Amino acid sequence: MSTILAIETSTELASAALLYQGQLIVRESAGTQTHSDAILPMVRQLLADAGIALARCDALAFGVGPGSFTGVRTACGVVQGLAFGCDRPVVPVVTLQAAAQALRTAHPEVPEVLSIIDARMGEVYWARYRAHQDGWETLVEPTLSSAPEVRTEGRPYACGNGLQAYAAHFTDAFRQRHFALALPQFMPHAGAVARLGQQQFERGGGLPAQQAQPMYLRNKVALTTAERAVRDAAKGQA
């Protein structure tokens, strides 16, 4: 079974996880530091807790987006830096699928998930997935739209903070029995990214570090000087 280090910084919660010998170790940081300040210390702590070096990891997974521009750039930059330093592949994991995975880990009976994440500016990121024994089928690719444009037919389970951000719309949809259950607390998390990353990697889904690119559904923005510094600092951690 492959060893996967994962980071997720696309939302207000930054998290890192290590999937090692079938065990998942997780660290989180919310609000006390910027994600760029918090993520590398969490990675170091995870490796120390497991008693392994970064080079023992088979691949590095990250939440590729969509999400906060700064957050997905941070995740991509840090993973690139770490992967360059230890010569390991990277595995991009869609954040909306990670939210669906987080929900299904808690509720294994869930057949279909609609992930809805607040994109601000009156919009949401959303996608729809069907669970199978060996993974997920994407029914609707990651999309940026207004809340009323989200397709809620078929009574899926719904997750993500978009349900709360646009509660007036989605509460009405729930009352009309468009959702089987609405669970806004399930969001993208490094633990889910690690599990999905392991599945993808073991099916040949790893990429060279230089090919890692954030997923933007709005206009792409270049890395800032500070974000490049975070990426370069990560190279020195390997």
Strand segments, DSSP code E, in 47-199 are: 59-65, 90-94, 112-120, 123-132, 135-145, 157-159, 181-183
- According to the model, what pLDDT value does residue 218 have? 81
Residue tagged 């994109």 (tokens): 119
Do 4-95+188-211 and 97-183 come out as alike in CATH topology? yes
One digit per residue, the tens of pLDDT, for the chain of length 238 reads 999 999 999 999 999 999 999 999 999 986 656 888 899 999 999 999 999 999 999 999 999 999 999 999 999 999 999 999 999 999 999 999 999 999 999 999 999 999 999 999 999 999 999 999 889 999 999 999 999 999 988 899 999 999 999 999 998 888 888 888 999 999 999 999 999 999 999 999 999 999 999 999 986 444 455 555 555 666 666 5
Q: In the CATH hierarchy, which fold is given to the domain comprising 97-183?
A: Nucleotidyltransferase; domain 5 (3.30.420)
- Report the alpha-carbon angle 160-115-21, nearest 5: 85
Q: Kindly list the domain boundaries of the chain, sorted by start residue.
A: 4-95+188-211, 97-183
Domain 4-95+188-211 has CATH 3.30.420.40: yes
Q: Are 104 and 131 in contact (CB under 8 A)?
A: yes
pTM: 0.89
Q: How far is CA 14 from the centre of its chain?
A: 10
Supply the DSSP symbol for 222. P
Supply the DSSP symbol for 109. T
Q: What is the helix (H) or strand (E) element at residue 42, kind and residue range?
A: helix 35-50
- According to the model, what pLDDT value does residue 234 have? 67
- According to the model, what pLDDT value does residue 236 have? 60
Supply the DSSP symbol for 207. B
Q: How far is CA 47 from the centre of its chain?
A: 20
- According to the model, what pLDDT value does residue 176 have? 83
